[in-house]
Amino acid sequence: MFGRSVGCCCNIVCCFCIFYNTILCSVLALLIFVFIFNPQEPKFTVTDASLTRFNFTNDNNTLHYNLALNITIRNPNRRVGIYYRRIQVIANYRKKRFAMVTLPSAPFYQGHKNTTILNHVLVEGQQLVVFGEQCDLSQFNLDTAAGVYSIDVKISLRVRARFGKIKTPDYGPSNINCNLKVPLSLSETLPSGFNATKCRNVHVLTNPSDYARI
């Protein structure tokens, strides 16, 4: 009896995977990964931003926008590799979402201690947004007068992590906040005066909602 089960399964993890469903297996992999290998979160920085159009037309509530971003992702781990399965950039102004783009550069794998540069992520188009007269519109007008807009960019990710041969199931989606102050620039080629900005709330490999699934 004992001999037979050893013969059919090489190890406990393997048995587990065969006899239980993938959810249990995922949970096990996640637990091993998080509690034993203690991965560090990747670091996201918006190194450059250029806003060449940000016009709101009151008559038809339409925002025309043209934003380009350079984003750097650093994997600080010495032993953990990261698969970026999907990366979406969501742009909000005054908590109103006006754009979402899915980056064509994903999926890709990021090795240990490696830095990935996502250059010229384009967020452009037009969107119907409903601005409140009092707060939103007056802030928009203030920002327009100052020539700098507070644009909150969220980076939404689906990732997998790899330690040696172990590959975790999908994490996420997790949302990373990059609160940008982007000057309106007349030309894409002139330096815009944007200050490189680190993104906050990075819970990619230690996403609380992954524990919630357990």
Binding site for ligand NAG (CB under 6 A): 48-50, 55, 57, 59-60, 62, 64, 68, 70, 111, 113-114, 119-120, 126, 148, 181, 183, 193-195
User: Which is nearer to ligand NAG, 168 or 197 (by Cβ)?
Assistant: 197
Closest approach of ligand NAG to the CB of residue 58, in Å: 9
C-alpha distance from residue 164 to each of 7, 25, 176 (Å)? 26, 18, 26
- Determine the length of the chain: 214
Q: Which residue has the tokens 């990373």?
A: 176
Minimum Å distance from CB 111 to ligand NAG? 5
Cβ pair 70, 50 in contact under 8 A: no
Contact 185, 52 (CB under 8 A): yes
Considering the complex, what minimum distance in angstroms separates the CB of residue 86 from ligand NAG? 18
Nearest-approach distance from CB 210 to ligand NAG, in angstroms: 26
In the complex with ligand NAG, the residue whose CB is nearer, 181 or 203, is: 181
Identify whether the C-beta of residue 123 lies closer than 8 Å to the C-beta of residue 91. Answer: yes
Residue number with CB closer to ligand NAG (62 or 105)? 62
Under DSSP, the state recorded for 214 is: -
